[in-house]
């Protein structure tokens, strides 16, 4: 249980293949706790995936509590071995990522999703989410597959923007 | 990255579009030991244009001569190149409310001039601009701007000013904040 440094591009862990969890044991729960701690420590963060804290494993944490764009909200939770069951109603929105400083991009994401995974007790959990929580889930699912929002941008000339400042 | 490349310069290059234009310029810069930094390159109605921030191992004049004489040996002789020194400290902060401005309507002279002058007078910084002429029976002009508002200026104030300027031009204008969700 610790706040870990958020890995930044070009750290290869962000693109490395990830391993599923065989069982949700204390080691797995420790990764889950680190995800929750690091997420709540990083301001503006509503989600974080294991590769972002240097762990090549299939897990992420999401918490959209209190976010103005959220509709569905399942509070703070961790999913291990997450699987996307359903994704529909795509909408373009502009995203940034803690691991990709200075850039933002327009990405089409489903606004209604069903995601399944194991919770901290190893029980199967089914999350039906929409709106902002759906976008957060999809962004984190991508991290688990080594994909960054930069891999989702469809038109470079109009879809990638500097976030903060010129260099 | 070549640490010896210590002259910050801007390179503009452009010409009739065909495959290989970026490759030939980028390869010449690479072979000279120059570092390519932030670039914008696009094709506009058959003309390809590039603007590149480069750190160069030689000064702007020397790099310009190198590129032009090198290109003369290729089949890209119609590519024009300009290189200028880039003063250090020319970076501008981009912090502030970001907005998209859309202006469109029946084409007429002065749309870009009037709209961007209004924005400039309000201290609004344009960070990206695209314009297109659309042929929809009669000519339609579309101007899309991404802007950063100065501190103290609200979208709610700027919107009506934009609309009335647009109305005088006989076109429509809207402005909306860009929300960025960081995950």
Q: Where are the beta strands (DSSP E) in chain B?
A: 7-16, 35-44, 47-56, 80-85, 98-106, 125-136, 138-148, 171-177, 180-182
pLDDT at B75: 92
Check CB contact of A109 with chain B, cutoff 8 Å.
Answer: no
Domains present along chain A, CATH in parentheses: 12-162 (3.90.45.10)
Kindly give, in sequence order, each residue whose CB lies less than 8 Å from that of residue B146, ignoring residues fewer than 6 positions away: A161, B98, B99, B100, B101, B126, B127, B128, B129, B178
> Distance (Å, rounded) from C-alpha B57 to C-alpha A144?
41
Contact assignment for B92 to A94 by CB distance below 8 Å: no
In-domain check, residue B91: no
pLDDT at B91: 66
Q: What is the 3-state secondary structure (H, E, C) of A36-59?
A: HHHHHHCCCCCEEEHHHHCCCECE
pLDDT bucket at B36, cuts 50 / 70 / 90: very high
pLDDT at B2: 83
Of A46, A47, A164, the CB nearest to B95: A164
> Distance (Å, rounded) from C-alpha A93 to C-alpha B183?
12
Contact assignment for A94 to B178 by CB distance below 8 Å: yes
In-domain check, residue B182: no
Question: Are both B103 and B164 inside the same structural domain?
Answer: yes
Q: Which domain holds residue B143?
A: 98-177
Question: Are both B64 and B102 inside the same structural domain?
Answer: no
pLDDT at A44: 64
**Residue B93 contacts residue B121 (beta carbons within 8 Å):** no
Contact assignment for A95 to B37 by CB distance below 8 Å: no
Check CB contact of B42 with chain A, cutoff 8 Å.
Answer: yes
The reply to whether A140 belongs to the active site is yes
Average pLDDT, chain B: 92
Per residue of chain A (167 residues), what is the pLDDT tens digit? 799 999 998 999 999 999 999 999 999 999 999 999 999 998 768 999 999 999 999 999 999 999 999 999 999 999 999 999 999 999 988 898 999 987 888 899 999 999 999 999 999 999 999 999 999 999 999 999 999 998 988 765 556 665 544 43
> Distance (Å, rounded) from C-alpha A161 to C-alpha A52?
22
Contact assignment for B181 to A164 by CB distance below 8 Å: no
> ipTM, 2 decimals?
0.76
**Residue A128 contacts residue A114 (beta carbons within 8 Å):** yes
Check CB contact of A147 with chain B, cutoff 8 Å.
Answer: no
In-domain check, residue B51: yes
Q: Total domain count for chain B?
A: 2
Task: Name the pTM for this structure.
Answer: 0.78
- Residues making up chain B, counted from first to last: 183
Question: Are both B52 and B21 inside the same structural domain?
Answer: yes
Q: Which of B64, B85, B106 is the last residue of a domain?
A: B85
Check CB contact of A95 with chain B, cutoff 8 Å.
Answer: yes
Question: Are both B104 and B161 inside the same structural domain?
Answer: yes
pLDDT at A167: 36
In-domain check, residue B108: yes
Check CB contact of B136 with chain A, cutoff 8 Å.
Answer: no
Question: Are both B12 and B75 inside the same structural domain?
Answer: yes
> Distance (Å, rounded) from C-alpha B112 to C-alpha B132?
11
- CA-based nearest residue in chain B for residue A164: B94
Question: Are both B78 and B108 inside the same structural domain?
Answer: no
Contact assignment for B182 to A157 by CB distance below 8 Å: no
pLDDT at A22: 97
């Amino acid at each position: 249980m610790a706040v870990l440094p958020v890995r930044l591009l070009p750290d290869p862990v962000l693109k490395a293949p990830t391993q599923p969890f065989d069982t949700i044991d204390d080691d797995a729960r420790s990764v889950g706790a680190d995800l929750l701690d690091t997420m709540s420590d990083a301001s503006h963060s509503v989600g974080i995936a294991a590769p972002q804290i240097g762990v090549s494993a299939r897990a992420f944490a999401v918490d959209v509590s209190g976010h103005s764009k959220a509709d569905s909200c399942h509070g703070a939770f961790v999913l291990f071995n997450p699987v996307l069951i359903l994704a529909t109603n795509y909408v373009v929105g502009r995203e940034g990522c803690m691991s990709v400083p200075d850039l933002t991009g327009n990405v089409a994401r489903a606004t209604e999703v069903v995601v399944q995974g194991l919770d901290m007790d190893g029980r199967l959990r089914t999350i039906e989410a929409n709106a902002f929580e759906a976008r957060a889930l999809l962004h984190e699912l991508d991290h688990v597959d080594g994909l960054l929002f930069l891999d989702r941008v469809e038109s470079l000339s109009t879809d990638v923007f500097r976030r903060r400042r010129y260099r | 990255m070549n640490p010896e490349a210590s002259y910050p310069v801007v390179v503009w290059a452009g010409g009739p579009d065909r495959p290989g234009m970026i490759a030939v310029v980028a390869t010449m810069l690479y072979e000279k030991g120059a570092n390519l930094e932030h670039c914008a390159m696009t094709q506009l109605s058959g003309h390809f244009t590039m603007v590149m921030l480069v750190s160069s191992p030689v000064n702007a004049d020397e790099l310009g001569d190198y590129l032009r004489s090198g290109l003369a040996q290729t089949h890209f002789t119609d590519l024009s190149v300009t290189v200028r020194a880039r003063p250090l400290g020319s970076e501008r902060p981009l912090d502030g409310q970001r907005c998209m401005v859309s202006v469109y309507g029946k084409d007429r002279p002065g749309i870009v001039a009037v709209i961007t002058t209004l924005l400039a007078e309000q201290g609004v910084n344009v960070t990206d601009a695209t314009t297109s002429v659309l042929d929809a029976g009669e000519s339609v002009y579309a101007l899309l701007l991404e802007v950063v508002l100065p501190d103290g200026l609200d979208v709610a104030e700027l919107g009506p000013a934009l609309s009335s300027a647009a109305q005088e031009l006989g076109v429509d204008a809207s402005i909306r904040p860009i929300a960025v969700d960081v995950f």
